[in-house]
């Protein structure tokens, strides 16, 4: 029997769970981290933004996490952590397609949008190759004194008067742990959502969507029809998060420096059912058949892991926290990866809970802080859903789609500048 009492338990050792555990331990709290699987493992969600990296930089400085600091930009990553695979991301690239037609090279300027986020490679964002990135953060957490159990299946959670209890087994050995506070980083519809039977709350404006994705080798470069003749661009369009937009959905293409490419599709239920995305690889091939320009890019590609189909992409929990527990934003809700908003929302949540944990034990103050965290997280998820819903509604009207996207990027840029000037109220 494995027994123990902790100040903080974190369930789920993706990047968010490991980072949260590191911060709790740096605050002097006895911290445990529990993982159902084993690292390294495949996880989707890879593209950072300037705000993501700024928040990561703030967390590294606030909590004295020197092993995290180099991962905040491409240049320092390559100098100090080049053994971890990642991708260079200078910005966002969008291409607009019509089904069953070649990409309109003659109207290329009209059918694309390139949004630069970094003036040069050294300070650029990155695509996290999550098998390497998450494994590295688990090792950092362990080195910092976090007690870690992997290959552990939790089967029960019980709220107590002064904390929370979790039970399960690790490699056939029973496990029974209690904590003053538990943080769930297991993703949408995760451990606490199931165990506490938390209700879901639909996003009012967001269309129901599905996703299908994998990791590939052999993905080719974009053909010449995607180029802008006579235009000098600040960086190659594929040194970015590449988005291929079409009526009812979009494809992402993120290239890492280890020869792997992350690619997948998010689509409305209507389109997903028409393509039968639930069929996996066959659904992916049906989609590419309707997008001739992309069919050429993936002609020699091979998926390195089985395709993953998510029958429902968006999710929001109606309860996000209780007196002795909280869902990280990545477990409280997911909207859509369209604008890479998931990472900054999650890091904002980690930052808030990290500050709230300083009051652990001061019952009224702490409970109020955690309730405020839940309210902020809910509001941010709903605001993101409204923006993404507007973008889905304009995928057939690309000029309007571009205008809405640029409004978002302007707001995100303002938020970044405000934080750098110390005028953030987040």
Tens of pLDDT along 323-358?
999 999 999 999 999 999 999 999 999 999 999 999
Looking at the domain assignment, is residue 34 inside a domain? yes
Q: Which helix (H) or strand (E) holds 33?
A: strand 31-34
pLDDT at 224 over 90: no
How far, in Å, CA of 78 to CA of 81, rounded?
A: 6
Q: Mind listing the pLDDT tens digit for each residue in 185-203?
A: 999 999 999 999 999 999 9
214-to-280, 309, 411 alpha-carbon distances in Å: 10, 9, 31
The one-character DSSP state at 317 is: B
Looking at the structure, do residues 102 and 157 belong to the same domain, yes or no?
no
pLDDT at 216 over 90: yes
Strands 152-160 and 302-303: unpaired
Looking at the domain assignment, is residue 73 inside a domain? yes
Q: How many domains does the chain have?
A: 2
Looking at the structure, do residues 146 and 258 belong to the same domain, yes or no?
no
Strands 321-322 and 249-255: unpaired
Q: Give the residue from 271, 292, 310 where a domain finishes.
A: 310
Looking at the structure, do residues 159 and 55 belong to the same domain, yes or no?
yes
Looking at the structure, do residues 112 and 190 belong to the same domain, yes or no?
no
Looking at the domain assignment, is residue 362 inside a domain? yes
Q: Where are the beta strands (DSSP E) in 372-416?
A: none
Looking at the structure, do residues 95 and 145 belong to the same domain, yes or no?
no
- Which of 75-84, 219-228, 239-248 is predicted with the least confidence, judged by mean pLDDT? 219-228
Under the banding of pLDDT at 50, 70 and 90, the label for residue 29 is very high
Q: Show the domain range for 289.
A: 87-127+207-310
Q: Where are the beta strands (DSSP E) in 135-259?
A: 147-149, 152-160, 163-170, 173-184, 209-217, 241-246, 249-255
CATH number, domain containing residue 105: 3.30.9.100
Strands 147-149 and 315-316: unpaired
Confidence at residue 425, expressed as pLDDT on a 0 to 100 scale: 58
Q: Copy the structure tokens of residue 264.
A: 């997948």
Looking at the structure, do residues 301 and 325 belong to the same domain, yes or no?
no
Under the banding of pLDDT at 50, 70 and 90, the label for residue 426 is very low
Looking at the domain assignment, is residue 426 inside a domain? no
Q: Give the residue from 250, 277, 310 where a domain finishes.
A: 310
Looking at the domain assignment, is residue 349 inside a domain? yes
Q: Mind listing the pLDDT tens digit for each residue in 126-162?
A: 999 999 999 999 999 999 999 999 999 999 999 999 9
Q: Give the residue from 272, 293, 310 where a domain finishes.
A: 310
Q: Could you tell me how many residues make up the chain?
A: 426
pLDDT at 424 over 80: no
Instruction: Tell me the percentage of the chain whose pLDDT exceeds 70.
Output: 99
pLDDT at 215 over 50: yes
Q: Copy the structure tokens of residue 280.
A: 């996996």
Angle between helices 130-143 and 15-26 (to 10 degrees): 20
């Amino acid at each position: 029997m494995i027994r123990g009492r902790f100040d903080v338990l974190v369930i789920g050792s993706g990047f968010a769970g490991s980072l949260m555990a590191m911060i709790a331990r740096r605050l002097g709290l006895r911290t445990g981290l529990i993982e159902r699987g084993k690292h390294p493992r495949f996880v989707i969600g890879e593209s950072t933004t300037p705000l993501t990296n700024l928040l990561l930089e703030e967390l590294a400085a606030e909590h004295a996490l020197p092993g995290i600091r180099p991962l905040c930009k491409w240049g320092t990553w390559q100098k100090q952590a080049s053994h971890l695979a990642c991708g260079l991301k200078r910005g966002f690239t969008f291409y607009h397609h019509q089904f069953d037609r070649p990409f309109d090279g003659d109207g290329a300027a009209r059918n694309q949008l390139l949004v630069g986020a970094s003036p040069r490679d050294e300070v650029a964002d990155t695509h996290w190759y999550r098998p390497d990135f998450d494994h590295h953060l688990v090792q950092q957490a362990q080195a910092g004194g976090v007690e870690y159990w992997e290959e552990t299946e939790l089967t029960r959670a019980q709220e107590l008067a002064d904390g929370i209890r979790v039970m399960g087994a690790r490699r056939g050995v029973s496990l029974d742990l209690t904590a003053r506070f538990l943080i769930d980083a297991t993703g949408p519809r995760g451990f606490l959502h199931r165990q506490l039977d938390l209700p879901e709350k639909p996003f009012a404006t967001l269309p129901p969507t599905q996703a299908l994705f994998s990791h590939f080798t052999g993905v080719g470069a974009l053909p010449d029809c995607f180029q802008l003749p006579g235009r000098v661009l600040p960086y190659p369009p594929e040194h970015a998060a590449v988005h291929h937009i079409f009526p009812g959905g979009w494809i992402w293409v993120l290239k890492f420096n280890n020869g792997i490419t992350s690619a997948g599709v998010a689509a409305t239920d209507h389109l997903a059912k028409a393509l039968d995305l639930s069929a996996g690889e066959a659904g992916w091939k049906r989609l590419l058949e309707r997008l001739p320009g992309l069919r050429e890019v993936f002609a020699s590609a091979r998926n390195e892991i089985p395709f993953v189909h998510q029958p429902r992409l968006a999710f929001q929990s109606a309860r996000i926290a209780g007196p002795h527990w909280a869902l990280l934003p990545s477990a409280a809700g997911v909207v859509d990866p369209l604008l890479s908003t998931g990472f900054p929302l999650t890091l904002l949540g980690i930052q808030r809970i990290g500050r709230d944990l300083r009051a652990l034990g001061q019952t009224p103050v702490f409970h109020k802080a955690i309730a405020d965290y839940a309210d902020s997280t809910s509001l941010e998820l709903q605001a993101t859903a409204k923006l993404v819903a507007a973008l889905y509604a304009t995928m057939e009207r690309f000029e309007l789609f571009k205008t809405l996207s640029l409004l978002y990027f302007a707001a995100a840029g303002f938020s970044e500048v405000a934080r750098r000037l110390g005028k953030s109220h987040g």
